[in-house]
Copies of this chain bind each other. A is one copy, B any other.
Amino acid sequence: MTGLVLHNYWRSSTSYRVRIALAMKGLDYEYVPHHLRYGEHLEPAYKAVNPQGLVPALVLEDGRLLSQSLAIIEYLDETVPEPPLLPDTAIGRARVRMLAQIIACDIHPVNNLRVLTSLRTVFRAGDQDVVNWFRHWVNESFQPLETMLSSSSETGTFCHGDTPGLADICLAAQVLNNTRFGVDMSPYPVISRIHEACMALPVFQRAAPKNQIDAES
């Protein structure tokens, strides 16, 4: 084994999170695409690598598998300290993890492709039902997230101070995902401002879905 291998999919927002972290840490990796809509992640060859059959998954130099985007990012942050993706105080880390998990636990899991597909197959949801569902769960969590960000003196150019970190990674990936479902961002000026600050950075651009080898128009 030589080097890191990232199993991922250009449009998966959790894949995007890990790509941003890898780019911020300056790490090179082999990019292995799995086309989710064609079910490539469910093939036996990939399930032998990652029993969950989900992306992203990072295979380390020694062949070990890491899955779950937040666990991968914390591992990268612990093993490649610069630039740090978490603050240097326990309470700061708690705040950033809280902001990240509002997106990673309360929004994304309910809105990811396999859940939306289940709504269609199990409950015969139509296109507009799926769009409404997606928007509903974004708004349920973006409203309090906006309140928390706008009311805290710890919010800076980014979610926590003036350097980007774990919460910004989740925020940027979610806001980009929102555009596919036409989420009205006008109630969220602070989230929007932070997203723009993220997308002004070359690492967020380089990792962006449209700039991946498997990107489709």
Contacts and interface: CB of A to CB of B under 8 A. Distances in A.
Which size bracket describes the interface of A in this complex?
35 or more
Interface string A95-125: 1011011101110111000110011001101
A136 B118 contact: yes
A144 interface: yes
Contacts of A93: 74-75, 78
Given A115-B110, A123-B125, A133-B122, A90 B75 contact: yes
A144 B64 contact: no
B90 A78 contact: yes
Given A75-B91, A97-B71, A98-B66, A144 B105 contact: no
B53 A144 contact: yes
Given A68-B105, A123-B119, A147 B79 contact: no
Contact of A72 (B68, B94, B108, B125): B94
A140 B117 CA distance: 14
Interface of A: 50-54, 60, 64, 66-68, 70-72, 74-75, 78-79, 90-91, 93-95, 97-98, 100-102, 104-106, 108-110, 114-115, 118-119, 122-123, 125, 129, 132-133, 136, 140-141, 143-144, 147-148
23 contacts: A50-B144, A51-B143, A52-B106, A52-B141, A54-B106, A66-B94, A66-B95, A68-B101, A70-B105, A71-B94, A71-B98, A74-B93, A75-B91, A75-B93, A75-B97, A78-B90, A78-B93, A104-B105, A105-B105, A106-B109, A110-B115, A118-B133, A123-B123
